[in-house]
Amino acid sequence: MLNALNLLAQPAVMQRLTLVINHVLASEPMAAQRLRAHTGRCILLQFQGWPALLPPLPVMAFRVTPAALMEWCGEEAPTDADLRVEVDASNPALAFVQALGGKRPRIDVAGDAAFAADVNWLFDNLRWDVQDDLARIVGPVPARELARLAAALAAGMRTAAGALSGLAQRARRDPAEASGQPPQ
């Protein structure tokens, strides 16, 4: 039952993800300039080590359109992807915590060097301006306040994640020390 539900939801999730990616790409003219040179090329994202206990991830293959946007290739991954990006997903919770701290997971890239350089530029330089999008809906002042609140929340989460990470590292070194028990 859960697997069937997952299979039904995956296309809808991927279509929404593609819309978000294209929204961010469209906000930066330099992104279009860089991608236009790669029209028709395909990028395949693969998540290595994804835990079997979690629902499987959909195929994440995208093709560059003539409008310099991304198009999800659907359920079947192309066998001739121009660029393959393998992301270490063996510990999704740790990857999430590290992402909160601004750290990328381990990524391996194979394929066309020029395409890889431009995709890397996109990863390094594009950010979703949520405050600007919120301002269109609720106005600039509420959007600024919501952004400040979100920034404070994110800073608190980064602090908590750092503390948990430190605790986990101490637990690996000395389980008695991490539990607060005196060493024997």
The rounded average pLDDT for each run of 10 residues, N- to C-terminus, in the chain (184 residues) is 66 88 89 92 90 82 94 83 88 74 77 91 77 75 79 74 73 65 58
Q: How many helices (H) and strands (E) does the chain have?
A: 7, 5
Kind of pairing between the strands at 107-111 and 83-88: antiparallel
What span, in angstroms and rounded, lies between the C-alpha atoms of 184 and 181? 9
Predicted local confidence at residue 38, as pLDDT = 95
Task: Give the pTM.
Answer: 0.68
Predicted local confidence at residue 44, as pLDDT = 92
The pair of structure tokens assigned to 44 is 């395949």
The pair of structure tokens assigned to 18 is 């593609």
Predicted local confidence at residue 175, as pLDDT = 62
H/E element, 18: helix 2-26
Predicted local confidence at residue 41, as pLDDT = 94
Q: Identify the DSSP state of 69.
A: -
With contact defined as beta carbons under 8 Å apart, do 44 and 60 qualify? yes
Q: DSSP string of 40-86?
A: T-EEEEEEET--TTSPPPPPEEEEE-TTS-EEE--SSPPTT-SEEEE
Per-residue CA distances from 126 to 112, 164, 184 (Å): 21, 29, 52
169 three-class SS = helix
